[in-house]
Amino acid sequence: MTPPRPRRRDDDGLTLVELLIAMSLSTIVLLATFQSFDVFSSETTKQTRQTGANDTARATMDRVVDDLRGASTIRTAAANDLVYSVATATGSRSVRLCVTGTTLYQSSSTTTTTPGSACGVAGTGWTQGVVGTVPAAGTTGFTYDGAASSATPAAVKSVGITLNIDATSAKSVATSTLRASATVRRTAGQLPISDGDVKVDCNSTGPLLTLGAGLSGLNVASVTYASTGGVTLGTGVTGTPVQLTIPKAVTTILATITDTAGITTTIPKTVECN
């Protein structure tokens, strides 16, 4: 009689079905990990772009608000176009912030020339740059004393500013929006006009004074020349020479410039005509 054969022990390891199930579970876990990483990466990129857009908008906003709260003069007051000038120790600095299409531009100049005829056109003597992209029309702009625009820019007392910068990437839509308002501090004598803007020439009759033609962008209405004692010696407008007949003892002339809003500045000018 043949003795019974010992029972064969089960083979160690996984069956094919078990292996397929394990591989499927591993694939699911791996895909979930990759997806989580992709979401994290996209969110990080979005936050980086938003931070960059926010920094750009904030830097622009802070500079404009500081200027307007200082001694400034508004030159253009439109819903999508703000131009102002600030008096400096060496003359004046003018800034333009405007929107055309979906682009926000900022340009500046240390001359008294007017900016370009349209937003996006720098103009002679102006340096222009792009602040950022605007996500949609009407999302970035300005208000003046609560109105969308002002027919008398130099009389504006407060400016509301909204900067909405696009931070959209290929995978996400995002924007950075900042709002601020600034009360324009302006007193008589704060038009951005300096001593160098009054030109003096001498002829046989006496001094010939001219207020620079480039100041026409400040909406100058008139200029009055007087002695330090208050005696009026002559009047004129920008770009037009005014002949003065004065005693040789008079060496200082006071030029009082008035703009269309009634804002004035008085500049002492030394005259040396023998």
Helix/strand/coil (H/E/C) assignment for every residue in 226-266: EECCCCEEEEECCCCCEECCCCCCCCEEEEEEEECCCCEEE
Last residue of a domain, one of 157, 183, 209: 183
Whether residues 165 and 109 share a domain: the answer is yes
Instruction: Report the Cα 116 to chain-centroid distance in Å.
Output: 15
Q: Is 123:107 a contact under the CB 8 Å cutoff?
A: yes
Task: Pick out the chain residues at pLDDT < 50.
Answer: 187-189
117: its two tokens: 């005829």
Note whether 107 and 240 are same-domain residues: no
Helix (H) or strand (E) holding 22: helix 16-69
Can you give the residue range of the structural domain that contains 217? 195-270
Distance CA 251, CA 133 (A): 54
Count the residues in the chain: 274
Among 38, 217, 60, 63, which residue's Cα sits nearest to residue 129? 60
pLDDT score for 78: 93
* pLDDT, position 123: 84
- The confidence score (pLDDT) of residue 161 equals 94
Q: Which residues pair with 269 in a beta bridge?
A: 253
Structural domain includes residue 88: yes
Domain count across the chain = 2
Q: Are strands 264-270 and 175-183 parallel, antiparallel or unpaired?
A: unpaired
Residues 194 and 87: their CA atoms lie apart, in Å, by 8
Where is the domain boundary, 140, 163, 183? Answer: 183
Q: Which residue from 218, 215, 251, 256 is spatially nearest to 235, judged by alpha carbons? A: 256
Are residues 116 and 72 both part of a single domain? yes
Pairing of strands 252-259, 242-243: unpaired
Q: Of the residues 183, 210, 231, which one is the last residue of a structural domain?
A: 183
